Amino acid sequence: MRKFFLNGSISPLSSQSNSRSPSPVLQILPTHRFQPRQIHKRPTIKWALVLVALIAFYTLGRVVSSTQRPAKRDMDDNSFLLGEDIPSVRFYDLSQSTGSSRGWERNERVLICVPLRDASPVLPLFFSHMRNLTYPHHLIDLAFLVSDSTDPTLQTLLHHLSILQQSSLRFNQALVFEKDFGQGVGQAFSDRHGFEAQGPRRKVMARARNWLLTNALTAEYSWVYWRDADVETAPATILEVHC
C-alpha cells in the first residue's frame, strides 16, 4: 500500500529514511482514486418537446379562429344585430325616428346631395356657400354625382374638397361618384329650358338623382337637402329654417 506524506518528507521505504517519526499520512486506496465527475445531462429534449407542443396548439388555435367568421361589431348608427346567429343582418328601428325643427340640438345628421355636370366654373361659389352654413358641419355629409361632363368638373371638385376637408370648417365626410347617364341636351339656357328638351332632359336628370340618393342615403340621416351648384344666393341658416 502506497503512502504519501503531505508535508513533503521522504517515504519510509526510501533508502534515505531515518528514525524520525513521519508526519501524518494520507492514505489513498484504489477505491479512492480520482473518478471523473459524472455530468448529468439536462432534460433538454423533454422541454424541447413541450415547447414544440405549445407552438403547435397555438398555431392550430389561430387557424381555427381565422376560419370562423366573427360577428360584426355593433356600430354607432342606432342599429343592432339581429341575433348572434345571423351577424350579417342588421335591424334599424326607425318607428320612433322623427325630425325636429332644432335638429342640431339632437345631433340629427343631414345629407346634402349635389348633382354636377359641367359645373367647374360655379364650384368656387358653391363651396363659399357651404363654408357659411351655420348648421354644425360635423353633422353634415356631402354627396356629389359628376356625370356627362366635358369640362374638368371632377378635378375642380376634388381640389376644393381637399382644401375644405383640411380646414377647420370641414364636414363629416364627402362622397364623390362619377357615372354617366347619356345626357344629350346642351347646357345653354335655350337648350335646357326649351320645350322640346324638357322630356328627355328631365328623364335623365331623374335617373341621375335617384341613383345618387340610392347610393348615398343610409338610415343614419334625418334630412336630405338637394342643392344645385349654380345657386347664387341662399341664407347660411337654410338648414335650420327648413328643419
Residue 63 located in a structural domain? no
Using a cut of 0.85, tell me whether the model's pTM lies above it. no
Predicted pLDDT of residue 198? 63
State the chain's mean pLDDT as an integer: 76
Predicted pLDDT of residue 221? 92
Say which amino acid occupies 63: V
Most confident of 154-163, 175-184, 200-209, 231-240: 154-163
pLDDT at 16 over 70: no
Residue 2 located in a structural domain? no
Residue 206 located in a structural domain? yes
Q: In this structure, are residues 159 and 176 in contact, taking their beta carbons and an 8 Å threshold?
A: no
Q: What is the DSSP string of 101-157?
A: TTGGGGT-EEEEEEEESS-GGGHHHHHHHHHT--S-GGGEEEEEEE-S--SSHHHHH
Q: Distance between terminal CA atoms of the chain?
A: 119
Residue 168 located in a structural domain? yes
Residue 21 located in a structural domain? no
Q: Domains in the chain: how many in total?
A: 1
Please compute the mean of the pLDDT values over residues 129-146 and round it to a whole number: 96
pLDDT at 67 over 70: no
Residue 170 vs residue 84, higher pLDDT? 170
Please compute the mean of the pLDDT values over residues 123-134 and round it to a whole number: 96
Confidence of residue 19 (pLDDT cuts 50, 70, 90): very low
Tell me how far apart the alpha carbons of residues 182 and 208 are, in angstroms, rounded to a whole number: 10
Domain hosting residue 107, numbered range: 101-242
CATH number at residue 126: 3.90.550.10
Rounded to 5 degrees, what are φ and ψ at 12? Answer: -65, -20
The residue among 182, 229, 189 whose CA lies nearest residue 208 is 182
